[in-house]
Chain A
Amino acid sequence: MLRLEKLVKTYRTGDQALKAVDLEVPQGQVLALIGPSGAGKSTLIRCINRLVEPTGGKVWLGATELTRLGAAALRRERRRMGMIFQEYALVERLTVMENVLSGRLGYVGFWRSFLRRYPQSDVDEAYRLLDRVGILDMADKRADELSGGQRQRVGICRALIQNPALLLVDEPTASLDPKTSRQIMRLICELCRERNLAAIINIHDVALAQMFVQRVIGLRFGAVEFDGPPEALTADVLTTIYGEEDWEATIRKVEDEEVPAEGQFA
């Protein structure tokens, strides 16, 4: 469904953020991208929807190659890639509804969006999504009145209303408390399952990633160091990704939490 071929990004400063990354993500697979800060995780997902222009290589979304598209074609393809951001990136002074409906901007014309006259089907879908994530009564509040967890739910709705085939998720739980973090991760993974969406989730919290995803990619210095199921993340593997550190606590924490987590949510 998504295929990266020898994706390279070299910044103007000469920093090589991505060194020929190859990656294939099938339909419906939720994948966690881990790695130290500066490993190129954010760059990788931004190169896919070209918020950052890749220097070389190819990105295939289904049968379309994205890196050579012109502006109009790129806008059309961006509709198929929903993005969820670190720190939510909601437009603070717009209402929740406006933020959610802004996910439809790729589909509606300028005047419709300017006058906020969205098709009824879009409005209904926005309400359905807000209800699904449990913040329907916040619809007409301004985005900056919401709590962190609520804001990220709005961010999720904004990505899903695009009716995407792929979710690009950049540190969804940074700046959220541990409980809210889990709720948000669970919500994202549930919604991906419901809609058979593929997702790439950048995440720092290794334990949290192990809890929810089917596949983990470890990135270090812009290259893939690890690609496997979450159970295969051992202390040795974490050392190759992050460097020397005592990993027992990180891993054991996962195992401890696995049991109640399973009972609670399965």
Chain B
Amino acid sequence: MSHRELDDILGRRWRKPKLIKRAWLRWVLGLGAIAYLIAAIASIEVNWSRVYEGLDRGAAFIISFTRPDFVSRWGDIWDGMLESLIMTVAASVVGIAISIPIGLGAARNIAPLPVYLICRGIVAVSRALQEIIVAILLVAIFGFGPLAGFLTLSFATIGFLSKLLAEDIEAMDRAQAEAVRSSGASWLQWINYGVQPQVMPRLIGLSMYRIDINFRESAILGLVGAGGIGATLNTAFDRYEYDTAAAILMLIIGTVMALEYLSGVIRARVQ
């Protein structure tokens, strides 16, 4: 831009420069987005008479929440919850333990390139395969039951936690780590003194969050035969026992809320 005299620009209105500078492109993109949205909504086929019939069933389902039945299937519910909790805790512990070394390897600023590529590869595979797909595969291998669920959740935990841990390590303060290295520390000592204190609060927070996710997932995995409370829930739906299903859903919601509260308390303590 050529040099401008202050007098020329005084009194001129100032606006934030537009993200897309070319006006015609800006308009085409904006109108295109609106046209696409309208076309997309128009293409959804809704069978309104079917919806009308379904409203009754939906209402029955929702109304059943006002009278959840904890009692008549309590034995099954209790077994299912216990199985889910065991699955969640075991899968979280194993998954987190495996995630930490992989997370260290997947951080570009502390791992050499070959290690980095291998660890990022593991993370990518774990994240690409959705839990349900993994669970179906593992149920096919190990048969019905919580073992398949446990393995699925461990596998999913690795992708989630390693990736986020690695990203936190990559965002750490270099100076602190450099200071530890300059004292002649070995690699492990460097990780323990220079890196770990910086990422620990986030690691704990993420682990708590992952336990929470694993519990919710364990309710879904039952639908494909991988054990836990989900299996009980599935049975209840199959038998049209919406009141029992409501009781199970309430227990799941309660547990997730309790975990949420717990993670808040823990994170506040470790800052």
Contacts and interface: CB of A to CB of B under 8 A. Distances in A.
Interface of A: 49, 51, 75-79, 81-83, 85-87, 89-94, 98, 102-107, 110, 113-114, 155, 158, 162, 168
Nearest to B197: A93
A116 to B, nearest CB: 10
5 A-B pairs with the lowest CB-CB distances in the bound complex, closest first: A106-B184, A105-B185, A78-B184, A89-B179, A89-B175
Contacts of B186: 75, 105, 110
B189 interface: yes
B112 to A, nearest CB: 12
Nearest to B185: A105
A5 B24 CA distance: 61
B193 A85 contact: no
A169 to B, nearest CB: 12
B178 A102 contact: no
Contacts of A158: 179, 183
A81 B190 CA distance: 17
B130 interface: no
B196 to A, nearest CB: 9
Contacts of B193: 91, 94, 98, 102, 105, 113
Contact of B183 (A92, A93, A106, A110): A106
B165 to A, nearest CB: 16
* Most B-side CB within 10 Å, residue of A82, A91, A93: A91
B185 A102 contact: yes
Contacts of B173: 92
A89 to B, nearest CB: 4
Given A102-B193, A110-B189, A113-B189, A91 B184 contact: no
A30 B193 CA distance: 30
Given A78-B184, A102-B185, A162-B184, A90 B179 contact: yes
A51 B193 CA distance: 17
7 contacts: A85-B175, A90-B176, A90-B179, A94-B197, A105-B189, A106-B184, A106-B185
A192 B4 CA distance: 56
Given A93-B198, A98-B193, 15 more contacts: A76-B184, A77-B184, A78-B181, A85-B178, A86-B175, A91-B197, A92-B173, A93-B201, A103-B183, A105-B184, A105-B189, A106-B184, A107-B184, A113-B185, A162-B183
B149 interface: no
A87 B179 CA distance: 11
A240 B240 CA distance: 89
B147 interface: no
B197 A105 contact: no
A108 B194 CA distance: 16
Contacts of B179: 83, 85, 89-91, 102, 155, 158
A92 B197 contact: yes
Contacts of A93: 197-198, 200-201
Contacts of A89: 175-176, 178-179
Nearest to A101: B193
Nearest to B193: A102
A20 to B, nearest CB: 25
A79 B197 contact: no
Contacts of B190: 105
B182 interface: yes
Contact of B175 (A77, A79, A87, A107): A87
Contacts of B194: 91
Nearest to B199: A93
A51 B181 contact: yes
Contact of A113 (B176, B192, B201): B192
B216 to A, nearest CB: 31
A102 B183 CA distance: 7
Contacts of A86: 175
A90 B180 CA distance: 9
Interface in B182-239: 182-186, 188-190, 192-194, 197-198, 200-201
A129 B197 CA distance: 24
B110 to A, nearest CB: 14
Contacts of B180: 91, 102, 105
Contacts of B182: 49, 51, 78, 81, 83, 168
Nearest to A72: B186
Nearest to B182: A83
A94 B189 CA distance: 14
Nearest to A74: B184
